[in-house]
Structure 1
Amino acid sequence: MVNIIVELSKYIIIILMAAYTFSCFSIFAQNYEDDEKRVLIRQNVLMFTLQLVAYIVMYLKTEDMKILFIYAVQAIVFLAVILLYNLIYPNVSRLVVNNMCMLMNAGMIMITRLSYDNEVPFDNAIKQMIFIALGVTFGLIVPILIKKLKSLADWTYIYAGVGVAALLLVAVFAVSSGGAKLGFTVFGFGIQPSEFVKILFVFYVAASLKKSTNFKNVVITTAVAAAHVLILVLSTDLGAALILFVVYLIMLYVATRKPLYAAAGIAAGSAAAVIGYHLFAHIKVRVSVWKDPFASYSEGGYQVAQSLFAIGTGSWFGMGLFQGLPDSIPVAETDFIFSAIAEEMGLIFALCLILICVSCYVMFLNIAMEIRNQFYKLVALGLGTCYIFQVFLTIGGVTKFIPSTGVTLPLVSYGGSSMLSTMIMFGIIQGLYILREDEEAKIEKRRERELRKERELRNESRRTTKKKTTKEKPRFEEVPKQRIR
C-alpha cells in the first residue's frame, strides 16, 4: 500500500509544481489587483499542499517522527514569512516572497531526505531550518535599512575596502578544501565570506558608476573589480570569481552603453581563462571531466558521472522520494542538489524549479527597469545578474553543459553562508521594490492633486461664465419689452 502511495505521490507533486510554475508567469497577464491576489493565494495553497504530500510520503517510508516535527517547523516558518512580509511591508512583491518560499521548500524536502542517512539523522535538515530562520530575520530587516539609509551611494570605497579585506583574509588564513580556499569554520558552522562579498561588490560598482562613467573612473572601477577577481583566483574560488566578472561586465555595459567596454572585457576574460587553465592543475581536471567524465571517472569525473546517472535514472517523472540513490552523488546536499532532485522528483519538477528561478529574475529586471534612481537601478540589475548566473553555473555544471565550478544553488542547496547571503539579496530587492512602489504612489498623488486643481479651475471658470451670462440676460430681454410697449 505504501509503495502505491509513493508512486502516486510523485505525479501529484509534479502536477502541483507545474501548476505553481504556470501561475508564476500567468500573474504577469493579470490586469486587476483582485485577480493577482487570487493567483498569489493559489500559489500558497499549491506550495503547502506539495509540502504536505512530500513529508507524508517520507514519513510513510521511514516511520520516523522527526520528519513530522521538521514538517511542522518548516510549515510554521514559511507561513510566518508570508504573513510577516505582508503585515510589515504592504507594498512588498508577494510573487518574490512566494517564489523564495517555494525554492526553500524544494530544497528542504531534498535535504531532509538526504540527511536521513547521516550519522546523526536529519542533522543537516535541522541546521538548514536554523539558517532559514536567520535568513528570514535578515530578509525582514534589510528593506527597512534600504528605506532609511539615504547615503548608501556615498560609501563607495567602504564597500571595496571591506570586500577586498574579507577576501584577503580567506586567501591568507583559510584552510584549503577540495583544492580551494573558501572560508572558515566557527563553532561547527562554515562561513564563506565570498558569498557576502558579492553583495558588497555590486554596491561598490553601482556607487562608483553612478558617480561618473568617464574613462578615468571606469579604469579605476575596473582595477578595483579586477583586484576582487584576482584574489578569488589566487584562492582558487573560481566560481565566485566568474560570477563577479560577469556581474561587473553587465553592470559596466548597462551604465556606459559602450559595446567596446563589453568586447574588451570578454577578450580579457577569455585570455584570463586560458592563462588559468595552464596555471592551475585542478582547472585542467575540471575541463577534462567536462569533455568526458566517464573517461576520467577515477580522476575527478566521478561526481559529474554520478550526477548524469542520477538525472538519467530519474527521467521525466522521477523515482519517487526514498526510491532512488541520490546519496551516492558526492556533495549532493550542496553543489549537486539539482541532480538529487531530478533523480527522485523528476526532470519535469527540476525544469519547473529552473523556471521559478527565471521568474524571480524577471521580477528583478522589472524592478531595475522601472526604478528611477541610477544607483538603485544598477544594484537591482547587479544582484539579479549575480543570482541568475549562479543558478546557471550550478545547473550547467551538474548537467555537463559547462565545467563544474563548485557553487551552490541559491535557496535550494544546504549551506548557511549561501542561504543568508541570498536572503539578504532578496531583502535588498524587496526594499528597492518598496521604494519603487512609494515613488509610484507619490507620482499618483501628484497627478491626483494636479487633476483636482484642473477640475477646480474648470468649475470656477464655469461658475464665472454662468454669472456673466445671468447678468447679461436681463439686459438682453429688457430691450424687446420696451420696444413692444
Structure 2
Amino acid sequence: MVNVIVELSKYILLLLMIWFTMESFLVLSKKKESTRKNIFRKQIIILLSFDLLAFFVMFLQTEDVKMILMYGSVLLYILFTQMLYRMIYKKASMNLVNNMCMLLSVGFIILSRLKIDNAFKQIQIVALSTAVSFLIPVIIRKAKFVRDLTWAYALIGLLLLAIVLVFAARSRGANLSITIKGINFQFSEFVKITFVFFLAGMLQMKTDIRQVAVTSVVAAMHVGILVLSKDLGTALVFFMAYLVIVYVSTEKPSYALAGLMALVLASVAAYFLFGHVRTRVEIWRDPFADYKVKGYQIVQALFGLTAGGWFGTGLFKGKPDTIPLASYDFTFAAISEEFGILFSICLILLCMSTFLLIVNISMKMSKNFYRLIAIGLGVEYAVQVFLTIGGTTKFIPMTGITLPLVSYGGSSVMSTIIMLSIIQGLYVLREDEEGEELEENRKKQIGKQKKSKSKKNKSNKGNNKNSKNNKNKPKGESGKKHGADDLEDKIAEQTKKSLHW
C-alpha cells in the first residue's frame, strides 16, 4: 500500500509543481488586482498541499516523528510569513513571497529526505532571517541616508573579504568561511549585497569615464580578494553584477564588450594560475577519465540527474545519498533523481519567474539608485542559479555555488532572503510613490474643479447683476438707446452703399 501511495504521490507532486509554476508566470500578465489575488490564493493552497503530501509520504516510509515536527515547522513558517506580509506590508509583492516560500519548501523537503537534522538547522536560520528581513523594507522606506553611504559599503565589503582571506580555513581548495563558536559564516554572501549598494551609489548620478574608472578599481579590489581566496565562483557572480550595473547606468555597449573580454582573459589566467581550476576543467571535459577520484562527484551527479527519468523515482525510492555534497553543491541532482526531470525543469522556470519579477520591479523604479540595486541583486541571483545548475548538468565547469533558497547553507539562505526583502522594500517604496502621485493628482484635479466652479459663479453673478440693472432701468431709456443704435447702423449701411455706388 505504501509503495502505491509513493508511486501516485510523485505524479501528484509534479502536477502541483507544474500548476504553481504556470500560475507564477500567469500572474505577471494580469493587471486586475482581484484576479491577481485569486491567483495568489491558489498558489498558497497548492503550496500547502505540496508540503503536506511530501512530508506525509516521507513519514510513511521512515515512521520518524521528526518528519511530523519538520512539517509542522514548515507549515507554521509559511502561514506566519504570509500573514505577517499581509498585515505589515499590504503593498508587498505576494508573487515574490509565494515564489520564495515554494523554493524554500522544495529545499526543506529534499534536506529532510537527505538528513533531517540539516533541515531543522536550515528552517531555524530561515525563520531568523525572515524575522530580520521584515525590518529592511521599513529602513528602505524611512532611511533616505542609505543612498549616501557609498564608500561605507565599499569599506565594509573589502574588510569582510580581507578577514576571510586571512583567517578562513581552506575548504575544497578555497578560503570560504570563518567559524565563530561553532557557526560557519561565509562573509562573501553578505558582501554581495554591499557590493551592489556601492555600485549603485557610485553610478546613480554621474556616469562619466572618471566615475566609471574609480568604480571599476574598487570593484576589481573586491573581485581580486575573492580570486586570492580562490573563491572563483563568487568572484564571477560579483563581476557579472558589476558588468550589468555599469551597462544599465551608462547604456554604452563598449563597456560591456570590454568587460566580457576582460572576463575571457581572466578565465584563461585562472586556468594557468590555479591547479583546482585546471582540475575542474579537466573533469568537465571528461569526468569518466578518472571516475573513481577526480570525476566521482560530477559522475554521480549525472547519474542522479537521469536515474529517475522524467517523473522521478519517488521520495525515498532513489539513492541521492550516493551523490557527494548532495545537500550543498549538487542539490539539483538529488531533486532530479527523486522528483524527476520534469519537476527540475519547473524548478528552473520558477527561478526564472523570480528573476523576471525582480527585473520588472527594477524597471518600475523612478530613482536610479533603487533601480540599479534591484537589477544588481537580480543578476546576482540569476547568475548563482545558472552556475549551480550549469555545473551540475556539466554545461559549465563546477564552481561550488549553492542553489539559492534550496541548498543547505546558513549564510547563503540568509543573504538570499535579505536580498529578496530589499527587493520587497523597493517594491513597497514604488507602490507608496505611485499612491502619493495619485493622491497629488487627485488633489490638483479637485483644486482645478473648485477654481473653475468659482469662475463660473463669478461670471453668473456678473450676468445676474447686468440683467438686474437692465430690469431696473426705465423702459424708455433702454428703448431710446436701442433706437439710437439702430439709427447709427442704418446710417453706416447707407454710407457704404453710396460709396460703393
Q: Shorter-chain TM-score: what band?
A: over 0.9
> 1:11·1:317 contact (CA, 8 Å) conserved in 2?
yes
Tell me, in whole angstroms, the C-alpha distance in 2 between the residues paired with 1:299 and 1:58.
33
Flag the structure with larger Rg: 2
List aligned pairs for 1:37-56, cutoff 5 A. 37-56=37-56
**Separation of aligned partners in 1, 2:438 and 2:475:** 56
Distance in 2, Cα, partners of 1:396 & 1:359: 18
Q: 2:289 corresponds to which residue?
A: 295
2:243 maps to 249
- 2:268 paired residue number: 274
Q: CA deviation at 1:148?
A: 2.3
- Match of 2:176? 182
TM-score (norm 1): 0.95
How many angstroms apart in 2 are the aligned matches of 1:50 and 1:169? 42
Provide the residue aligned with 2:133 in structure 1.
Answer: 139
Aligned 1:395-474 pairs, distance under 5 A: 395-471=389-465
Aligned ranges 1:386-397 → 2 under 5 Å? 386-397=380-391
In the superposition, the TM-score normalised over structure 2's length comes to 0.92
SS at match of 1:372: coil
Matches of 1:369 and 1:423, distance apart in 2: 21
Over aligned residues, Cα RMSD in angstroms? Answer: 1.7
Q: How many residues align?
A: 477
Question: Post-superposition shift, 1:470?
Answer: 4.6
Distance in 2 (alpha carbons) for counterparts of 1:85 and 1:47: 17
**Structure 1 CA distance, aligned partners of 2:151 and 2:471?**
82
Q: Deviations over 1:137-193 (max 9, x none)?
A: 121111112122211121111111111111111111111111111011233322101
2:60 counterpart letter in structure 1: L
Percent sequence identity over aligned pairs: 46
- Structure 1 residue 381 corresponds to structure 2 residue 375: yes
Q: Name stretches of at least 5 consecutive residues in structure 1 with no aligned partner.
A: 116-121
Q: Which residue number in structure 2 is paired with residue 229 of structure 1? A: 223
Could you tell me how far 1:465 is from its partner in structure 2? 4.1
Is the 8 Å Cα contact of residues 326 and 332 (structure 1) preserved in structure 2?
yes
Q: Counterpart amino acid of 2:430?
A: R
Deviations 1:358-383 (CA, angstroms, capped at 9, x unpaired): 11111211121111111111111111
Cross-structure match for 1:113: 113
1:208 to 190, 202, 206: 202
- Report SS of the residue matched to 2:207: coil
Aligned partner letter, 2:159: A
1:35 lines up with 2:35 in the alignment = yes
Determine the C-alpha separation between the residues in 2 that align with 1:262 and 1:162. Answer: 27
- Aligned-partner Cα distance in 2 for 1:304–1:223: 36
Counterpart secondary structure, 2:144: coil
Equivalent position to 1:155, from 149, 160, 167: 149
- Whether 1:283 and 2:277 are equivalent positions in the alignment is yes
Cα distance between partner residues in 2 of 1:350 and 1:470: 80
Counterpart code for 2:319: L
Aligned-pair CA distance for 1:295: 2.2
Deviations 1:199-258 (A, max 9, x none): 111111111112421211211111111111111111110110000011101101111111
Deviation of 1:474 (Å): 6.7
What whole-Å deviation, never above 9, does each CA across 1:324-376 have from its counterpart, x for those lacking one? 01111110011111111111011121111111111111121112111111111
Match of 1:355 in 2: 349
Q: Which aligned pairs between 1:309-348 and structure 2 lie closer than 5 A?
A: 309-348=303-342
1:119 paired residue number? none
C-alpha displacement at 1:478, in angstroms? 9.6
Q: How far is the alpha carbon of 1:471 from its aligned partner? A: 4.8
**2: distance between equivalents of 1:31 and 1:465?**
44
Contact kept? 1:138, 1:423, Cα under 8 Å = no
In 2: Cα distance, 1:39 partner to 1:280 partner? 50
**Any stretches of 5+ residues in structure 2 without a counterpart?**
480-501
> Which range moved further: 133-142 or 55-64?
133-142
Match of 1:130 in 2: 124
Question: 1-side partners of 2:290 and 2:440: how far apart?
Answer: 66
Query: 1:2 is matched with which residue?
Result: 2
Aligned residue in 1 for 2:20: 20
Q: Secondary structure at the match of 1:297?
A: coil
CA distance in 2, matches of 1:12, 1:188: 40
Q: Distance in 2 between matches of 1:278 and 1:299?
A: 22
1:63 has 2:63 as partner: yes
Please say which of residues 212-221 and 291-300 is displaced more in the overlay.
291-300
